[in-house]
């Protein structure tokens, strides 16, 4: 077996687990994705250790462990660390699997005698590396180091056999391609193309988990394009295939499918949250259902309404949680808020906010930005979009008004035993202008005292002060709005 000396920065917590095993007489290695990630200078999501010890032996030598699976994996718990990836270290006896009659689960899991057997059952060469922490040495039986250098994902052994053992590996290959920016080795690709139907035996939940990892990767389009080309896409949902090569109108340089990929990739580059990325990928999914040739061009009326329904259907089939589905579907439903025929007025903006909800309004704007980039239009924030953002902030903010006083018109009337009339308004405007100068003045007792003082003034004097205060307050309000508009560089 090929060996190579390498020094890595291994977290102390991992080193300790390995050392404890070694002192108890059990050979052990760091295995799986963490070595791949160390070599690529990526932060490992989890740390796995493979060892000669049996589960019972592992449990005996650590103070706190849990063991609740049929694979022999023992979670070694470290309560001292704050780092989520180090809280439990998965320690697994060398494994040897045999017989996969359902392309899903090994019929029985047996403990292997040595590391070679354990590495041989792993999916890809880049994941079949082991590291001896004590000797600072990488073990590489299948050429994983070379494949990492070449940025290639290659199945360990015969790819067709490996995919027949566990069909999910096909999706894992695509997911890794997106996460790492790697290419699929030719034989591995061919084997996927030939064996796609095996995926029908994989549960929606497992497909969903890989799909979500693709969506959350830096370049989701890599995996999804491969999925389309190799015939896997329909196992995520048959809906997406309908947009492949589907021509749109002049405003779009790309087909429906390519536009969805570009929109999603932009939202990933921008590191937008999961629901925005999902909405980016789903937003035009219903275009194939709504396409009509009219006035010399293709139209897609109502695609956002049908799209929201399809989003719920697809995410439901994949067993996505309800909350995430709701958010994504809502964004899809309202993604057309920026239509050309609609003027950007405060009431139009208020309507959009009411529809999508205050919590999603900025996500909707981000979806819109991604949508534009996905269309191939160069500028991310043209004037109209900036105007929209400014208007949203204006509508969402609390305007400067007597409503923010800790006392209202009824209080003033009661305090001064007066009837409704302009005097009440004058008093409130004066109080507001004073509170704007000195926010500490917005205190019920202080305000009450001041009401009595103002009430004692000559009516003409009160009217003059009241009108001045109103003008001043209105100017303050305009200044606040002006600041927002300046920030967005809009009129």
Asked whether 431 and 402 are in contact (CB, 8 A), the reply is yes
C-beta of residue 47 within 8 angstroms of C-beta of residue 14:
yes
Q: Among all residues, whose Cβ is closest to ligand ATP? A: 33
| Residue choice 166, 225, 371, 429 for contact with ligand ATP (CB under 6 A) | 166
In the complex, least distance from residue 43 CB atom to ligand ATP, rounded to whole angstroms? 10
- CB 118, min distance to Mg ion, A: 15
Number of residues interacting with ligand ATP: please give it, by CB under 6 A.
12
Q: Residues 30 to 49: which contact ligand ATP by CB under 6 A? A: 32-33, 45-46, 48
Q: 398, 473, 461: which is closest to 429 by C-alpha?
A: 473
Q: Segment 112-151, which members bind ligand ATP (CB under 6 A)?
A: 122-123, 127
Q: Which of 21, 33, 144, 172 binds Mg ion (CB under 5 A)?
A: 33
How far apart CA 196 and CA 170 sit, in angstroms, is: 8
Q: How wide is the angle at C-alpha 279 spanned by C-alphas 274 and 285, nearest 5°?
A: 140
Which of 99, 316 has the CB closer to ligand ATP? Answer: 99
Cα(245)–Cα(251) distance, integer angstroms: 16
Using CB under 5 A as the binding criterion, the count of chain residues that bind Mg ion stands at 2
CA angle 95, 98, 100 (to 5 degrees): 120
Distance CA 169, CA 485 (A): 52
Asked if 214 contacts 223 with a C-beta cutoff of 8 angstroms, the reply is yes
Contact of 279 with 262, CB cutoff 8 Å: no
Q: How far is the CB of 221 from ligand ATP (least distance, A)?
A: 19
For residue 267, state whether it binds ligand ATP (rule: CB under 6 A).
no
Helices and strands, number each (H, E), in the chain: 24, 14
Q: Which of Mg ion, ligand ATP, none does residue 123 bind to, with CB < 5 to 8 Å depending on kind?
A: ligand ATP
Q: How far is the CB of 85 from ligand ATP (least distance, A)?
A: 9
User: Should residue 168 be labelled a site residue for ligand ATP when binding is judged by CB under 6 A?
Assistant: yes
Q: How far is the CB of 48 from Mg ion (least distance, A)?
A: 6
Candidates 30-38, 50-58, 380-388, 434-442; binding stretch for Mg ion (CB under 5 A): 30-38
**And the tokens for 172?**
């894992």
> CA 436 → CA 18, 242, 405, 430, distances in Å?
64, 59, 10, 10
Smallest distance from ligand ATP to CB 363, Å: 26
Tokens matching residue 364: 């909707």
260 neighbors 307 (Cβ within 8 angstroms): no
Residue 140 binds which one of Mg ion, ligand ATP, none, with CB within 5 to 8 A depending on kind?
A: none
Cα–Cα dist 135/30, whole Å: 12
- Name the residue nearer to ligand ATP (CB basis): 37 or 239: 37
Q: Least separation, in Å, of the C-beta of 477 and Mg ion?
A: 55
Give me 409's structure tokens. Answer: 């018109």
**From ligand ATP, Mg ion, none, which one binds at residue 291 (CB under 5 to 8 Å depending on kind)?**
none
Q: Is the alpha carbon torsion for 165, 167, 171, 174 positive or negative?
A: positive
CB of 155 to Mg ion, least distance (A): 18
Residue 393 touches which member of Mg ion, ligand ATP, none, C-beta under 5-8 Å by kind: none
The yes or no reply on residue 46 touching Mg ion (CB under 5 A) is yes
**Site for ligand ATP, rule CB under 6 A:** 32-33, 45-46, 48, 122-123, 127, 166, 168-169, 172
């Amino acid at each position: 077996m090929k060996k190579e000396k390498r020094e890595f920065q291994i977290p102390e917590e991992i080193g300790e687990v390995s050392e404890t095993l070694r002192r108890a007489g059990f050979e052990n290695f760091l295995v799986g994705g963490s070595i791949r990630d160390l070599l690529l200078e990526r932060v490992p999501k989890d740390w796995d250790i493979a060892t000669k010890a049996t589960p019972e032996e592992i449990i005996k030598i650590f103070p706190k462990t849990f063991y609740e699976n049929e694979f022999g994996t023992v979670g070694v718990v470290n309560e001292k660390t704050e780092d989520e990836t180090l809280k439990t270290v998965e320690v697994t006896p060398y494994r040897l699997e045999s017989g996969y009659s359902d392309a899903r689960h090994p019929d029985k899991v047996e403990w292997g005698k040595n590391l070679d057997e354990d590495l041989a059952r792993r999916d890809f060469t880049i994941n079949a590396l082991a590291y001896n922490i004590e000797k600072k040495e990488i073990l590489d039986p299948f050429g994983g180091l070379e494949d990492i250098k070449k940025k290639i994902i290659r199945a360990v052994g015969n790819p067709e056999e490996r995919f027949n053992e566990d069909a999910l590996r096909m999706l894992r290959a695509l997911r890794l391609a997106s996460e790492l920016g790697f290419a699929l080795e030719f034989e591995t690709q061919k084997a996927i193309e030939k064996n796609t139907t095996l995926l029908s035996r994989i549960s929606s939940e497992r497909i969903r988990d890989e799909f979500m990892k693709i969506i959350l990767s830096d370049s989701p389009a890599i995996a999804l394009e491969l999925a389309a080309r190799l015939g896997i896409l329909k196992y995520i949902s048959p809906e997406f295939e309908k947009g492949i090569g589907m021509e749109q109108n002049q405003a779009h340089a790309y087909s429906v499918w390519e536009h969805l990929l570009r929109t999603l990739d932009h939202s990933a580059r921008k590191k937008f949250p999961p629901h925005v990325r999902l909405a980016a990928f789903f937003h035009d999914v219903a275009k194939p259902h709504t396409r009509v040739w009219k006035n010399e061009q293709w139209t897609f009326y109502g695609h956002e309404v049908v799209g929201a329904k399809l989003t719920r259907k697809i995410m439901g089939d994949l067993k996505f949680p309800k909350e995430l589905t709701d958010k994504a579907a809502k964004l899809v439903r309202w993604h057309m808020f920026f239509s050309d025929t609609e003027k950007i007025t405060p009431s139009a903006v208020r309507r959009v906010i009411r529809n999508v909800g205050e919590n999603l309004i900025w996500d909707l704007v981000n979806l819109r930005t991604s949508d534009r980039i996905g269309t191939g239009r160069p500028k991310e924030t043209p004037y109209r979009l900036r105007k929209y953002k400014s208007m949203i902030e204006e509508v969402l903010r609390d305007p400067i008004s007597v409503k923010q006083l800790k006392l209202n018109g009824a209080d003033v009337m009661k305090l001064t035993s007066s009837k409704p009339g302009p005097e009440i308004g004058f008093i409130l405007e004066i109080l507001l202008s004073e509170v704007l100068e000195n926010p500490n003045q917005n205190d019920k007792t202080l305000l009450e005292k001041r009401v009595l003082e103002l009430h004692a003034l000559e009516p003409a004097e009160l009217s003059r002060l009241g009108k001045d205060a109103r003008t001043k307050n209105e100017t303050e309000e305009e200044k606040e709005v002006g600041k927002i508009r300046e920030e967005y560089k809009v009129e």
